[in-house]
Amino acid sequence: MKDAAGTRNDLSGTVYGNVIQANSVSVSHEREARRGAVWMVPTPTQVLVARVDLTERLAELLSPGGADVGVVGNGGFGKTTLSAQVCHRVRHMFPGGVLWVTLGENVSEPVLADKINDLSELLIGQRPALTDPRMAGYRLGELLRDREPTLLVIDDLWAASRLAPFPTGPNVARLVTSRMRGTLPMTCEILKIGQMSLSESGSMLSNGLPGLTCIEGLTRLTGGWALLLSLVNGAIREYVEEGATPDEAADLIEQQLVQDGPDSLDLESADRRDQAVAATVEASLRRLASDDRNRFAELGVFPEDIAVPVEVVGSLWAANALSAARIRRLIRQLADLSLVSLSDGAIRIHDVLRTYLRRLLGPCGLIELNATLVNALRAADPAEWASASPYTRKYLAGHAASAGLLDPLLLDAGFLLAASQPDLLACLDAARGDDAQTAAAAYRRAAHHLRDRRMADRPAYLALAARRLGATELAYASDERGQLASWSSSWALWNSEPEHTTLARHRSAVLNVSVASLSNGRTWAVSNDIDGETRVVDVVSNESVELPGLLPNHGVLGTRCVQCVRLPHGGHLMFAHAWGEGLRIWDPVSGDAVAFEDQETVTKPAEIVWTEDQSRLVVLVADWEKTIRAWDGTTGRLVGEKVNFKVGGGTNFWTIAAGSLPNGHVAVAIANESQPVQLWDIETGQQLPHTLPGDPRRTMHLAWGKNALFTGGDSGLIRRWEPATGRAAGSDLAGHDTPLSALICAPTSDGEVVISGDDSGKVRVWDALTGDCREGPLTAHPDSVRSLAYAELPDGRAVVMTGGNENTARLWEMRAFGSESDRATGLPAPTSAVVAGNLVVSGHRDGTLRVWTPREQIAELEPGYKVLTCHDGFVIATPGRGLWVRTLTSEGKANPARRLPATGWVACATKVDDTTVAIIGGDENVVEAVRLPDGRRLWRKRTRERTKWEHRSAWRRPGVSAITTATLTDGRRVVVTGGTDGTIRIWDLANGRRVGTSMNCRDAHQLSPASVTALVGTRLLDGRAVAIAGSEDTTSATVAVWDLATCRMIAATATPTGWISHAVCTTTPDGSPVLVTGGKVLQVWRLDALDPATDWLPAFDIDLDAPVTALTTTASTLIAGTQHGMARLQLR
């Protein structure tokens, strides 16, 4: 149909006799007319029975911007039909049209968000990519805010939390149908709908049946229940079509109801309602063959309140040898009997009937049917899961789990890659066999990659996760589906890790984490990194959440820190602070800005903390100007006085924590690395007369609990203090061997805990009252733990969220803390790797070198903490101090190691006049060449250059931190070194003389040096000899390419890449030269098209879930190591 504006509306409705549900509607019109009226009210396929009194009363209650209106009554009473009828009555009041959404009993959060997104897409023609219902609702509210008055119908509501996301407003009216008054707001206008009157019942029974007079008995037996009346009407019409008169058919059905159902229907009795449904359904099915009745019962196997494609129903029934023609006829017959609705090639079954069918089938019957459906779907879908039907990809795992048949699917790589991730993750605990449980663990481990990575690379990540856990068959199967991936793996030797979830991979270290348990039952994990990127992930479904106010997968521009704070009433606030933007506060769900009193006076916020007592939440913000202000988090009003504090020691480092004093005043503790901990009363703005000693070395972290203030720092000790007196509150909490890097206090269901993290990545959980270590140590990260959070999820699980210096945010259940001590040690962490002919030699933290073939380890050599280089069978390694050389055969046999007289910590080797020569770099910028294996010195040089950085008081010679060799375009062979001052120098290989000029792309006025941490020489396709350097710098371009002939930089990374610890040059299988750098991830850079005028960006990266500690290459193959193990990777 077309309205006056020319908008064309095409709709399809779902009809259960007189019970109508909206199914789909599309609006097509020119872009400028999308704001025209939308009409989603389904058109019934039968003549409706007028319920005049109810319709008029409901119409009177509806008005734009008025109170919510609820239609309440038992299932099948005609609530949906009545709502559809009244929409026509009030259409003139809502020129914006009617939006209609049907929910159901078990609508999940993601499905609810999808339904709301459907409405937004209908209005603007674009679908929002929102997975949280409240944010989806907020977006819909934005669209409705500028429209003419619109009626929003929310049909079949079962829980108050499912209504909350739907918007309200001055030009929006909400009409809600529900079985329970308690699901609706207290301010809602309620219209209770009960049984039909005698005249209404008679009209429904005789609909389409002229001549029907025997209705009194049927009216009594159906109790005026609209659903049953519709079923009886359909059954009568079925008999009439076969030749019976209406009265004969009515009499026959009445006899059947008397025999099978209650003598009269009391709608207040659940038992009698169930009995009446059973009797009415049986009466409707009486004319069907026994097999057809069984087929109808089988429909109870499908999920609630979804449109099941006819093809899926056909697959289930085809297992019982039903032909396609018979399946179509049976579905049509069931629709004619009002037992199902048929629309757009899909059927729906009323939830009352579904509940009845599931009871009829029983637990064993449901298991058998789920098994049948699983087999049918697998047989009906194509061999490639990616081409399977949407129903199969979304629901097959659930059916298989219910039937105990999930294991084969978990062992099928194609299914794991194609299945809907939230639905599959929810089923993984149903894995039974060892192989399936391993596959489930691999899927969990790779889930964040399967969510975030480009489609072509996902098989590679699944294969690597499988190899790490020993699931080789799953790995091979994944490889077969990864032909378009940028890389693949062929081997991995990985130590087991405690079970955890990697929530997000950031671009830099994760500074802040928090867990937000929302009032709608969802739980968000929020993480924020140094660069301001903020990620939000649903803890249960592992779906990324896009918050209003944040760009997708990015933070607020310039933001230094984002914190999520829970309010006493259950809501949340997001606090963001940036150098240039001051303090920003907003509601994370709606995106609405929240104004705090005088918040604009905080111009350079540095840290945000909060404390909560029984009456209020107080948020404190410290400014770089060394002032602290406090606000009531609920009202936004200022609390107490401004604190102006000072820190000594000539440093800008300080941190704060907030809590309550015994007198009820809010107080703040301020720690500075060079002075005792200060305590200030926020209510008065005055400093308390005492200070706290804090950490024996440096106090770096504070946490304020219910009964004590906890301090931690470089000593690894956690000390407890009474804030009011300054006295120790108990013995120290000792257990960390390295400096603390994170410390929090968190309330629990049984008290309070202190959670601590250190520079080695270990986390411990302590009882805040007794000081006992409850859990740990757990190695949560391969590097420092930068941030911590604790939460107890709605399902009762206690979890710890951690943010690491290696850029990941992770989630750990408490049970993971106890599992680490049970794990086998396995392979000691690799520190380095080099290629030795057809072998690979790796160094490890246990001080042993290991020799590998492409498939297995064949030898162990000592000493050898780190292997530096290998050439012509000579292997140079260091056990930590000094250099040792040995020869290695192609079979992995080695002679005893000989100590070299040269000193240094980096080395490379090459051939000079048929002699193998090692070039060694060390402290004081000394470079020397020695002959192998005897170590006779050929030359030794030391640069006269000295470097003075601004924060140092004396000039000093830089050390050599990286070294390689190269051949210039004129044929000269040179040594290239990188220094701890960020400078690259060239030396003649023959005599050690300096060549060219020093190269340094870093500002000499930086506060600290940026060492060259990786260096490799190669020749470009145009013949130029270049050196490629990576550094530890995190603020400038961290990979640069230098022309060794001109000593000029010809390319540099467009953005900081983080610490680069390794660099190698290799080629892809097609011969293209590439650079591979190792840092927190592996990054692959193309070298065939370097242009100084074009940003140089990595072609792709490979995330091993831990920083790279070892890297070497042969042909297109990489051997990479992390602290968890080693893997062989192939570039494509």
pLDDT digits (tens, 9 = 90+) for 1041-1056: 999 999 998 888 877 6
Identify the CATH number of the domain defined by range 8-194.
3.40.50.300
Q: Quick one: pLDDT at residue 714?
A: 92
Topology of the domain comprising 827-896: Thrombin, subunit H (2.40.10)
Spell out the residues 6+ positions from residue 32 whose beta carbon is closer than 8 angstroms to its own.
Answer: none
Tell me which CATH homologous superfamily contains domain 900-1058.
YVTN repeat-like/Quinoprotein amine dehydrogenase (2.130.10.10)
Q: Give the helix ranges, DSSP H, for 90-225.
A: 109-124, 133-145, 160-163, 198-205, 216-222
- Say if residues 1111 and 1118 touch (Cβ distance below 8 Å): yes
Beta strands in 968-1055 (DSSP E): 973-979, 984-988, 994-999, 1012-1019, 1025-1031, 1039-1043, 1048-1052
Compute the average pLDDT of residues 279-285. Answer: 68
Q: Given CA atoms 129, 133, 135, 140 in this order, what sign does their dihedral have?
A: positive
- Say if residues 240 and 246 touch (Cβ distance below 8 Å): yes
Indicate if the pLDDT at residue 359 is higher than 90: no
Q: Which residue has the higher pLDDT, 989 or 253?
A: 989
Indicate if the pLDDT at residue 382 is higher than 80: no
Q: Quick one: pLDDT at residue 578?
A: 66
Q: Which helix (H) or strand (E) holds 275?
A: helix 270-285
pLDDT digits (tens, 9 = 90+) for 453-494: 999 999 999 999 999 999 999 999 999 999 999 999 999 999
Mean pLDDT check: name the lowest of 1-5, 92-96, 263-267. 1-5
Rounded CA-CA distance 38/10 in Å is 10
- Say if residues 129 and 329 touch (Cβ distance below 8 Å): no
Q: What is the DSSP letter of 820?
A: G
Q: Which residue has the higher pLDDT, 285 or 1008?
A: 285
Mean pLDDT check: name the lowest of 182-186, 608-612, 962-966. 182-186
Compute the average pLDDT of residues 885-897. Answer: 90
Spell out the residues 6+ positions from residue 1063 whose beta carbon is closer than 8 angstroms to its own.
Answer: 1014, 1015, 1016, 1028, 1029, 1030, 1039, 1075, 1076, 1077, 1078, 1111
Q: What's the chain's average pLDDT?
A: 84
Compute the average pLDDT of residues 431-446. Answer: 95
Indicate if the pLDDT at residue 1099 is higher than 90: yes
Say what the alpha-carbon torsion angle 690, 695, 698, 703 is, to the nearest 10 degrees.
-80
Of 874, 926, 867, the C-alpha closest to 902 is: 926
Rounded CA-CA distance 416/435 in Å is 14
Query: Which residues are bridge partners to 375 per DSSP?
Result: none
| DSSP result, 854-888 | SSSEEEEESS-SEEEEEETTEEEEESSSS-EEEEB
Compute the average pLDDT of residues 711-736. Answer: 93
CA angle 223, 226, 227 (to 5 degrees): 105
Q: What is the DSSP letter of 728?
A: B
- Say if residues 73 and 194 touch (Cβ distance below 8 Å): yes
Beta strands in 1032-1105 (DSSP E): 1039-1043, 1048-1052, 1062-1067, 1073-1078, 1082-1086, 1100-1102
Chain length of the chain: 1132
Of 1047, 1099, 1039, 1101, the C-alpha closest to 1073 is: 1099
Query: Which residues are bridge partners to 1131 per DSSP?
Result: 487
Topology of the domain comprising 505-542+561-822: Methylamine Dehydrogenase; Chain H (2.130.10)
Q: Quick one: pLDDT at residue 999?
A: 87
CA 485 from centroid of its chain's CA atoms: 22
Q: Given CA atoms 207, 208, 213, 219 in this order, what sign does their dihedral have?
A: negative
Q: Quick one: pLDDT at residue 677?
A: 93
pTM (two decimals): 0.77
Q: Quick one: pLDDT at residue 19?
A: 36
Of 738, 826, 721, the C-alpha closest to 777 is: 738
